[in-house]
Chain A
Amino acid sequence: MLGWFCHPEHLDIFRGDVYELYQDRRESGSKLGADIRFLFDIVGLCRPYAMKNHKIENSNNIAMFKNYFKITYRNLLRQKVYSFLNLSGLAIGLACSILIFLYVNDELSYDRFHEKADRTYRMLEHFQDEGNGEHSASQPFPTGPTLQAEYPDEVVQAVRLFNFQSPSLALANKAADKAFNESRIFFADSTFLDVFDFELIAGNRETALDNPNSILITTSMARKYFPDEDPMGKFLEIQGRQNLEVVGVLRDSPKNAHFQFDFIVSFSSLKPWFGGNYPRGWYWNPCWTYVVLEENVTKEQVESHFPVFVDKFFPGFIKEHVTLELQPLTDIHLYSNLDYEIEANSNVESIYIFSAISFFVLLIAAINFINLSTARATKRAREVGVRKSLGSSKAQLINQHVFESLFMTFLSMIFALVVVAIFLPAFNVLTEKAVSFFLLLQPQYLVILVAITLIVGLLSGFYPAFVLSSFNTVSVLKGAHLKTSGLNFRKILVTIQFSISICLIIGTIVAINQLQFLMNKDVGFDQDNIVMVPVIRSPMGQHYENFKTQALQSPRITSITAVEEIVGAKHQVGNYQFEGMDESKAYARFNMRHDFAKTFDIPIVAGRAYSYEVQTDDSLALVVNETFVKAMNWGSTEEAIGQRFYFRGELRGRVVGVVKDYNFVSKHRPIAPLVLTLNSRRGAFNLFIKYVAVKINGADIEDSIADIESAWKSVMPNMPFDYFFLDDTLNDSYKAEKKLSNVTIIFSVLTILVACLGLFGLATFSVEQRTKEIGVRKVLGISTSQILVLLSKEFLLLILIAFVVAIPISYLLTQEWLNSFSYRIGIEFWPYIVSGLLTFIVAFLTVAYHSMKASLINPVETLKYE
């Protein structure tokens, strides 16, 4: 044991000593005591001077570091091009990774600021019926409170959020004549502020939402509605029928929360809307329900009660198809993609992709650094020779060069931070975030930054350090022409660099293509020139036909209908029982008014569209899509016409029409069976009809809007008019892909830039080394183009290899990514060709620049010193 650490000089004596002591103690005492003290003695002998690697240090380290620093500084200045390439490449790489780090960090921070975040869950309702149905993020009204009442020991708090499933609600400050349609408004249980830690600036946290007709507003909304006064105690009118007292002011909702709000209305204010009490049904599920579990109660524990719970409370006809689930609050932003999310969430995939990109950018930058440093080695060889002959040990030389690379990395890190500080605002716009630069200055992030610098600096410093320190002193000093060692290693690194670049280019092209493909208008219905006017809970129900007649008088308006949800984005679910079925089943359902197919230009493939002439269309007729016909095995679309379904228990309804399949939700999902149902009841405007959709001719958009507005004002002079264009909204469904492709474009351009910087540096180096050779060749009559071939051959071969390596890798990766889409582009040949050519051309230009320069030098210049 002693031998393990002890210097051989002392080993024998020490062994003897401890052994003798041991023997003495064995004679005088117990074996155990002697054993223990034997161990103590050995440990006691662990003294620095006795250690194996103890050396006498008398060199002045600080002075040496001063010297290293000076040499680094001189080299920096002497070789400006290299230093610039080295530093800027590394700085770009670091800046990219810092930006992406900030992005990823922000994505991961969602909803974690709530104190109870780790035991808060959102309740999900899966409604599954042979592949149809929904996965809902929301619950029926009674679920939350009932669950809490049933399992009070496990469920501490429950809060429901509700917004009528409406895209916006009308709010007005009557006194100041300010009226707006607000989209970020929620009705919430009084426990809202207990479950979530949103900051209340004014008002009483405990009692804020206890009373009916109370509303909390955010500071920016306070400014919007009450610009010059204290909002507390003032009133806001909602939907023109209920006055709400402002009882508190909230800080604007944090960006890193999965739902954003401007107004929170006390839940009890809802009672008058439903005839004095909350809806009691367990079918309609519009409430986002969050529960806080007791500490030490697991998700599984509570979920184990759910089958019993469902059986006890849910209505018989859906019982068997409903499963409930608890979704951790902190998972919502990254993992949740359900029906009826409050907002579209991000996905964890883009985080992986971004992290991978940032890693690769950094890797490429580090490779640059290694390549340039080793390439520069010949220039430094003489210095190394002198140092060696003056007694530098190999370890010292390695120290020096690692120190140098660390120093350079630190310098780049500083540049990188400056770059980040400059570009962060633009990056925030691009990614729709509000990340602050000062986040980086917090200790834990500073530590990470320093760690990154150290890792990159050490990793990229070690290889050059070993190469440099291994030079043979004599040959270096003699000035022998050095065949730089590590050329093969460098070639491998360059190949890796370009493989990564090519992969990134291919990935970017594929991502852009896929995005274009998703966003192209071929969705089976016409989404251009359609103005959507939100009408939920407005008196529109009474005035609809009036409004329609009035608006259609405008020559600019071609057709009008009304729909339940945004066409192409959302749908609801309804239960239908067709002839031959034992019980009803859930299908995607869409309520609408007459002229739906006409307005959206959806072809009727069989039967007819809903007609004003047929009174019973409202209840006894259904229109379905082609997929529905297929799912029901009705044979042809013609045979589908006349199929009967149960209405109020009797087999009275009939299918009257079949529409061509269209993408009624985004192209992330395949087309499912769909039931289109006419709902012309006036009351439907409360729940089942949320928008009026107006098709305009598109020639004069502003006038068309003005026409719609005047028709609106003529029937409902007091309601604020609001509208949006369908195609804008639908494009928003592809926000995640858009963001992803934007970011990948930027970073792959940067990656290629960095890789080219490296290539540029290497080319400079290799041309410099061969100036004499070129001089001789020129004298012997080589042509400029031959020089070009001579010099670029080497690099272009590397790129060719890189290309061959990159193709299968990128094929697999893009294939994997594309498989996550139900509508996807096929793998095409041309992105590969394009990326290959692009890299080839850029690299060729880089090298060609140098070759040209070299070939233009008068050979006399290069040869005269020989």
Chain B
Amino acid sequence: MKYTQLGEFEELVLLIIGSLGENAYSISIKEEFKQHTKRNPSIGALHSAFNRLEKKGFLESHEGGATNKRGGRSKRFYVITTYGRKALDDSFKLRSTLYHSLPQLGLSSE
């Protein structure tokens, strides 16, 4: 299988899902995303990202937790998979390696 890439938006969504733990579903993810990035992603954009990530095997989902506020409809909770965790690690590693190889000079001169 082709090596799957993580897009910037996908990576952020994945990180947020990981950090939210048990309570990761669309609305809470949207709120968290807004809080951290000051961006306000549409619900559609988020769902399409979930769908992609799930297809790539980074996420797992289960339904449940219907509330009155939702008109009695269930939520879909997302949990990060080990494969997803690994992808995040890889991504982080790659980034930090590249970051450390930045020339020091540029930084100290600031």
Closest to B73 in A: A16
Per-position binary interface string of chain A over residues 7-47, scored 1 when its CB falls under 8 Å from any chain B CB and 0 otherwise = 00010111111111101100000000000000011011111
- Taking a contact as CB atoms closer than 8 A, the residue among B47, B67, B71 that contacts A50 in the complex is B47
Do the beta carbons of B70 and A16 come within 8 Å of each other? yes
| A13 CA to B54 CA, complexed, in Å | 15
Given A13-B75, A20-B27, A40-B42, A47–B70 Cβ distance below 8 Å? no
Interface assignment of A49: CB less than 8 Å from any CB of chain B? yes
Q: What is the minimal beta-carbon distance from A21 to any residue of chain B, in angstroms?
A: 6
Interface residues of B in 13-34 (CB under 8 A from A): 26-27, 30
Interface residues of A in 749-764 (CB under 8 A from B): none
Do the beta carbons of B48 and A49 come within 8 Å of each other? yes
Residue among B42, B43, B63, B69 with max Cβ neighbours from chain A (10 Å): B43
Q: What is the minimal beta-carbon distance from A159 to any residue of chain B, in angstroms?
A: 66
Do the beta carbons of A16 and B47 come within 8 Å of each other? no
Q: What is the minimal beta-carbon distance from A33 to any residue of chain B, in angstroms?
A: 14
Closest to B30 in A: A21
| A17 CA to B75 CA, complexed, in Å | 8
Do the beta carbons of B75 and A47 come within 8 Å of each other? no
Do the beta carbons of B42 and A41 come within 8 Å of each other? yes
Do the beta carbons of B43 and A45 come within 8 Å of each other? yes
- A residues less than 8 Å from B45 (CB atoms): 44
Given A49-B48, A49-B51, A17–B71 Cβ distance below 8 Å? no
B side interface size, CB within 8 A: 20
Closest to B26 in A: A17
Q: What is the minimal beta-carbon distance from A52 to any residue of chain B, in angstroms?
A: 15
- A residues less than 8 Å from B30 (CB atoms): 21
Q: What is the minimal beta-carbon distance from A38 to any residue of chain B, in angstroms?
A: 10
| A14 CA to B42 CA, complexed, in Å | 12
| A40 CA to B45 CA, complexed, in Å | 12
| A20 CA to B75 CA, complexed, in Å | 10
Do the beta carbons of A12 and B74 come within 8 Å of each other? yes
| A15 CA to B27 CA, complexed, in Å | 12
Interface residues of B in 70-89 (CB under 8 A from A): 70-71, 73-76
- A residues less than 8 Å from B76 (CB atoms): 13
- Taking a contact as CB atoms closer than 8 A, the residue among A12, A21, A40 that contacts B27 in the complex is A21
Interface assignment of B44: CB less than 8 Å from any CB of chain A? yes
| A14 CA to B26 CA, complexed, in Å | 9
- Taking a contact as CB atoms closer than 8 A, the residue among B48, B71, B73 that contacts A13 in the complex is B73
| A304 CA to B48 CA, complexed, in Å | 67
| A45 CA to B44 CA, complexed, in Å | 4
| A45 CA to B42 CA, complexed, in Å | 9
Do the beta carbons of B27 and A13 come within 8 Å of each other? no
Closest to B44 in A: A44
Q: What is the minimal beta-carbon distance from B49 to any residue of chain A, in angstroms?
A: 10
| A26 CA to B98 CA, complexed, in Å | 46
| A15 CA to B10 CA, complexed, in Å | 23
- B residues less than 8 Å from A17 (CB atoms): 26-27, 43, 47, 70
| A21 CA to B45 CA, complexed, in Å | 14
| A478 CA to B75 CA, complexed, in Å | 53
- A residues less than 8 Å from B71 (CB atoms): 15-16, 19
- A residues less than 8 Å from B63 (CB atoms): 13
Given A13-B63, A13-B75, A41-B42, A19–B70 Cβ distance below 8 Å? yes
| A563 CA to B43 CA, complexed, in Å | 93
Do the beta carbons of B48 and A41 come within 8 Å of each other? no
Do the beta carbons of B43 and A21 come within 8 Å of each other? yes
Residue among A10, A21, A41 with max Cβ neighbours from chain B (10 Å): A21
Do the beta carbons of A12 and B73 come within 8 Å of each other? yes
Q: What is the minimal beta-carbon distance from B10 to any residue of chain A, in angstroms?
A: 14
Per-position binary interface string of chain A over residues 596-622, scored 1 when its CB falls under 8 Å from any chain B CB and 0 otherwise = 000000000000000000000000000
- B residues less than 8 Å from A44 (CB atoms): 42-45
| A19 CA to B75 CA, complexed, in Å | 11
| A44 CA to B47 CA, complexed, in Å | 10
Do the beta carbons of A20 and B47 come within 8 Å of each other? no
Q: What is the minimal beta-carbon distance from B51 to any residue of chain A, in angstroms?
A: 5
- Taking a contact as CB atoms closer than 8 A, the residue among B44, B67, B73 that contacts A47 in the complex is B44
Closest to A48 in B: B48
- B residues less than 8 Å from A45 (CB atoms): 43-44, 47
Given A12-B73, A12-B74, A13-B74, A18–B47 Cβ distance below 8 Å? no
- B residues less than 8 Å from A12 (CB atoms): 73-74
| A50 CA to B30 CA, complexed, in Å | 19
Interface residues of A in 49-69 (CB under 8 A from B): 49-50
Per-position binary interface string of chain B over residues 36-73, scored 1 when its CB falls under 8 Å from any chain A CB and 0 otherwise = 00000011110110010000000000010011011101
Q: What is the minimal beta-carbon distance from A11 to any residue of chain B, in angstroms?
A: 9
- A residues less than 8 Å from B66 (CB atoms): 16
Closest to A13 in B: B76
- B residues less than 8 Å from A19 (CB atoms): 69-71, 73
- B residues less than 8 Å from A14 (CB atoms): 43, 47
- Taking a contact as CB atoms closer than 8 A, the residue among B43, B67, B74 that contacts A18 in the complex is B43
| A45 CA to B27 CA, complexed, in Å | 14
Having A13-B76, A14-B47, one finds 15 other A-B pairs with CB under 8 Å, namely A12-B74, A13-B73, A13-B74, A15-B71, A15-B73, A16-B70, A21-B43, A40-B42, A41-B43, A44-B42, A44-B43, A47-B44, A47-B51, A49-B48, A50-B51
- Can you list 19 A-B pairs, Cβ within 8 angstroms, ordered by A? A13-B26, A13-B75, A13-B76, A14-B47, A15-B73, A16-B73, A16-B75, A17-B26, A17-B70, A19-B69, A19-B73, A20-B70, A41-B42, A41-B43, A41-B44, A45-B43, A45-B44, A47-B51, A50-B47
B-binding residues in A (CB < 8 A)? 10, 12-21, 23-24, 40-41, 43-47, 49-50
Please name the 4 residue pairs, one residue from A and one from B, whose CB atoms are nearest each other, closest first.
A44-B44, A16-B73, A16-B70, A44-B42
